[in-house]
């Protein structure tokens, strides 16, 4: 399950970014996961819960996952279209489009701390 390695990477990134004193005050992590990222939010949440059960480091930190839609920007008319049913066609000019601008990401969007 690659979601476990993703959880490990997220926590390593946070540990490199913040000092332990700050991490001890962390209360929530907000992620943005694109529909084309090959990450299943439910499995990612399960992996996080399995890695940090009650009584362990970071068990008190909530994980919030927002799924982002697939968006393309047309090379012909520059219109941004939200892709529906995996049809990569500009809704304005009806031309096929492969210029993906959103939907593959996995981002740490926000981290909340107790002050």
DSSP state of 39: -
Range of the domain at 14: 2-113
**What does the block give as tokens for 86?**
């995996």
**What does the block give as tokens for 109?**
């969007």
Question: Per DSSP, which regions of the chain are E strands?
Answer: 26-34, 62-68, 71-73, 80-82, 100-102, 106-113
Give 8-24 pLDDT, tens digit per residue.
999 999 999 999 999 99
pLDDT over 70 at 1, yes or no:
no
What's the pTM? 0.87
Give the total number of structural domains in the chain: 1
User: Which CATH number covers residue 87?
Assistant: 3.30.2320.80
The predicted model gives 66-77 an average pLDDT of 97
**What does the block give as tokens for 111?**
């981290």
| Residues forming a β-bridge with 51 | none
């Amino acid at each position: 399950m690659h979601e476990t390695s993703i959880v490990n990477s997220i926590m390593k990134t946070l540990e490199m970014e913040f000092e332990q004193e700050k991490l001890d005050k962390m209360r929530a992590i907000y992620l943005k996961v694109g529909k084309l990222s090959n990450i299943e939010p439910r499995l990612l949440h399960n992996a996080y819960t399995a890695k940090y059960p009650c009584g362990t480091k970071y068990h008190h930190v909530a994980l919030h996952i927002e799924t982002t839609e697939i968006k393309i920007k047309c090379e012909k008319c520059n219109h941004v279209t939200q892709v529906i049913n995996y049809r990569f066609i500009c809704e304005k000019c009806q031309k096929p489009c492969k210029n993906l601008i959103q939907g593959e990401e996995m981002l740490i969007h926000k981290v909340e701390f107790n002050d």
